[in-house]
Amino acid sequence: MSSPPEISTVLCTFAWKPAEIEQLRRAFAPAEFVACKPSDKGIVTDTLQRAEIALLGTNLSPEVLDAPHVRWVHCDMAGLNGAAKPETFAKGLIVSGSAGRSGPALAQHAFNFALTFIHDSVKSLARQRDHLWEGAEAIRERRTLWGQKLGIVGFGYTGKEMAHIGRAMGMHVTVLRRSPGSSSSDVDVMLSKENGDGLNPILDCDVVMLAMGLSDETHHLFGKDQFKRMKKDSIIINMARGESIDQEALIEALQSGEIAGAGLDVFEEEPLPRDSPLWDMTNVLVTPHATPSMPDKTQRSIDVIVTNLKHYKEGRPLINMIDERDTYTKG
């Protein structure tokens, strides 16, 4: 049995409260634990000359990648496509993230989009503002989510929460995940990319929600061909990454009526340019890549890191650890 990896120095650049940082300091004791801001360049550069572990409040930088002794990097974020580069894997660097800390909130955000479309809430608020008691028949003609088909791409923390809410709302739930896994009582049809399953069953759904990681494989997963095959009264909701959708193809599909609407929290270019057609489209809902926080969001990150420290010492795979399947070179 190999001996545990040496941990003499840890760099931490999280912008957390002192008590939260102290939890990590205790977990990594007796190692030297250097906590500073990412802007403290001198301290960061000096500490990286001897640190074996880097806990980053930012994405993986070239300076950290080139650090002589760093073996494990934890980025306090969900999407790690910025770190999933060939050079990261070539070096053998272990990289983990904080996916899951906001899963329930992201799923609720997605259903806020869905319910806003279903209830035509934008028009309802306009009528309320103008003191108009009208529109009842148009509202009654709309279909509730109950009985509709929900398609989810990705079955990590957020995808599982989406399926759970969809089941509670009486929807038929189809999931396309990357790798085969255990079944779920919240899912009617479970599909796997690695088992040879494709997007067709998802494209047949009334509401499509994206919750997968961004990689070369999922870059522009939804484009012109996929929108042509979707139902004309369907809506797509993107809580993943903007590059998961070919944005120009989406605009064309929305303008031509190939799909009915889109709820978008992420975009290929952020901030979304002020001259983007998406701003003025009545069948689009836009939020600025922001979701209300979980009350224990930071504690969830701490729990992942502390658990991963145990796994790291034992030579076991880390939670939320990326591998070469996650490689992203297209952005």
Residues designated as active site = 241, 270, 289
304: DSSP letter: H
d(CA 73, CA 65): 9
Helix 18-28 with 297-314: angle, nearest 10 deg = 10
Q: How far is CA 143 from CA 16, 149, 209, 255, in A?
A: 44, 12, 18, 22
CA-CA distances (angstroms) from residue 173 to 96, 253, 259? 29, 24, 19
Tell me the two tokens of residue 238. Answer: 């993107």
Quickly list DSSP for 243-255: GGB-HHHHHHHHH
Burial readout 178-194 (b: 16 or more C-beta within 10 A, e: otherwise): beeeeebebbbebbebe
Asked if 259 and 253 count as a contact pair (C-beta separation under 8 A), the reply is yes
